[in-house]
Chains A and B, each alone.
Chain A
Amino acid sequence: MNEILSLTNVTKSFQHKIAVNDVTFTIGKGEVMAILGPNGAGKTTTISMILGLLKPTAGEVQLFNHQPHEKQVREKIGTMLQEVSVMPGLKVREILELIRCYYPEPLAMEELIDLTGLTEQDMKTRAEKLSGGQKRRLSFALALAGNPELVIFDEPTVGMDITSRNRFWQTIHHLADQGKTIIFSTHYLQEADDAADRILLFKDGAVVADGTPAQIKSRISKQSVSFIVDPEISLENLYLHSEIDDIYRKNNRVYVQSNNTDRVLELIFQEKIGARDIQIERGKLEEAFEQLTSSAKEAI
């Protein structure tokens, strides 16, 4: 039984709006999954249901084969919410001490400090006097305080500077190496591509793609072969082949779009058009993302 989280036909609707629409997926132990999607795609709502903060309108969420609100589930998860929360009146060290004692096997304080980059100064500061960056570090430490098996972050790097961001991802990799299961949401493609081994792409509350970054790229974005050719030469013959989806010129190069780039190469030589500097262009995740999410904006 390696299944840690499962959502089955989960839907959440607010008064007039369906925020999450019939979402089904499961996560196994040790996976690092990104929930990727533009603002308003339903990431926070989905995470809130996973954490038991919101009740699904329909469908079921199970964590470690239990309901999200059960104590034994809570002991195994750690989380960093999109809105950073602090407990006014206490110093960082005190808050961490308090939260650690909620869990049966908390992480040692030193390890917590090491992992999150909290400084001695941070530890002595009262929660209400923390800067944005310090709050984020505290929030990160709170997520790890109970030494959780599953960590869930909602847009963790928003508001972090480059240094803290790098440190954050380093720690995430470290946690992943320890076999922890990690879910994070983001609207940065680069982040999802770099840090996750699986991406769940959300659009308008539904999952529109689910796979490794590479799978998603190859499935969604078109591949093409590009080359330089004498402008005088006619490319008409190429159009006759049904494998080719589109041909266009950009920056002095000709782009031939097709799912079968091997066949395109064959055709180029077969037609003897004198193509030079031939390159195979793999779709970028960026483009796939734009493609998938752009129609949402048009619809509005």
Chain B
Amino acid sequence: MKTFQMQCKFEIIRVLRNRYFVFWSLVMPILFYYIFTNVVNTNAPDKAEWQAHYLMSMTVFSVMGSSMMTLGIRMVQERSQGWSTFIRITPLSDTVYFAAQMMGQSVIHLLSITIIFIAGALINDVSLTALEWVMSGLWILLGSLPFLAIGTLIGMMKKVETAAGISNVIYMVLAVAGGLWMPLEIMPKMMQSIGKWLPSYNFGNGAWEIVRGNMPEWKNILILIAYLAVFMLLSKYVRRKQEAV
């Protein structure tokens, strides 16, 4: 148990010291949030609703990014620097190691969610009911699972540069096409119909529904679970293939 705690603690310290994390997962989303709710005039019919909507978009954007990039790139780094090999020789069990990574990642997400929510409340006086804050926070925390699975897939790449490049592209495509930067409604019909099937849209939509006083749609939940299953199977398959060589 002490090992697990220590492992979590140091996983968290490592993430917080990572400049890319602080920039992409905290500074960028808050900056974007400020710009698209205050500087750029978006002509939103209901200003308060737009401010709450976009706060969810940016929080989802942040958590999605650290699930894929922080986790994935760290895995590649540890492997390419021989650290994973060294860990295999120590008595640390795989289960504790994996659990601590997931736990550490969740704490980091909770922290990002809290900071960005507070930023939203301070910048635009976004006011939701306590239940809405908690529910949307929980949704974002749990909804990150398929993206953590993408992270482990990215983590199987050989080189840090490749992993960083590819995950960046996936990240941006998912964010834009999933309507996290701009609402899907203002995009061409084609893009809209594709976007609705992306994990990022379904991740975001659950939170958007919550701040409108609804519950996430069943479709959102099912699609995210389906993506999680696919990515986990894929990751299992790739690992088996890598081990066979």
Which chain A residues have a beta carbon within 8 Å of chain B's beta carbons? Answer: 51-53, 71, 74-75, 77, 79, 81, 83-90, 94, 97-99, 101-103, 126, 142, 146
Contact = CB atoms under 8 A, between A and B. Distances in A.
B83 A53 contact: no
A87 B82 contact: no
Contacts of B13: 89-90, 94
Interface stretch (B1-9, B120-128, B187-195): B1-9
B90 interface: yes
Given A90-B14, A98-B7, A102-B3, A74 B89 contact: yes
B222 interface: no
A102 B82 contact: no
9 contacts: A51-B89, A52-B89, A81-B86, A85-B85, A86-B81, A86-B83, A94-B10, A99-B90, A102-B3
B82 A103 contact: no
SS class of chain A's interface: helix, strand, loop or mixed? loop
A83 B82 contact: yes
A90 B81 contact: no
B49 interface: no
Given A85-B81, A86-B81, A53 B89 contact: yes
Contact of B82 (A51, A77, A85, A101): A85
B48 to A, nearest CB: 40
B85 A53 contact: yes
Contacts of B91: 71, 74-75, 102-103, 146
Contacts of A52: 88-89
A262 B93 CA distance: 61
Contacts of A77: 89
B92 interface: yes
A40 to B, nearest CB: 20
B86 A85 contact: yes
Nearest to A98: B10
Contacts of B10: 90, 94, 98
A3 B106 CA distance: 46
A142 B10 CA distance: 16
A84 B82 contact: yes
Interface residues of B, number: 24
B18 to A, nearest CB: 6
Given A53-B88, A83-B82, A142-B86, A88 B14 contact: yes
Contacts of A88: 14, 74, 77-78, 81, 83
A77 B86 CA distance: 12
Nearest to B97: A102
A51 B90 CA distance: 10
Nearest to A89: B14
Residue among A75, A97, A102 having the largest count of chain B Cβ atoms under 10 Å? A102
Given A85-B81, A89-B13, A74 B2 contact: no
Given A52-B88, A89-B17, A94-B10, 4 more contacts: A83-B85, A89-B15, A90-B10, A103-B90
Contacts of B7: 98
A292 to B, nearest CB: 31
A71 B90 CA distance: 8
Contacts of B86: 79, 81, 85, 142
A68 B13 CA distance: 32
A245 to B, nearest CB: 48
A89 B86 CA distance: 16
Nearest to A142: B86
A62 B82 CA distance: 24
B127 to A, nearest CB: 37
B81 to A, nearest CB: 6
A56 to B, nearest CB: 16
A126 to B, nearest CB: 8
Given A81-B86, A90-B10, A102 B92 contact: yes
Interface string B1-38: 01100110010011101100000000000000000000
Interface string B62-97: 000000000000100110011101101111110000
Contact of A81 (B6, B17, B78, B82): B82
- State the 4 A-B residue pairs at the shortest beta-carbon distance, nearest first: A85-B82, A89-B14, A74-B91, A85-B86
Contacts of A74: 89-91
A154 to B, nearest CB: 11
A90 B7 CA distance: 12
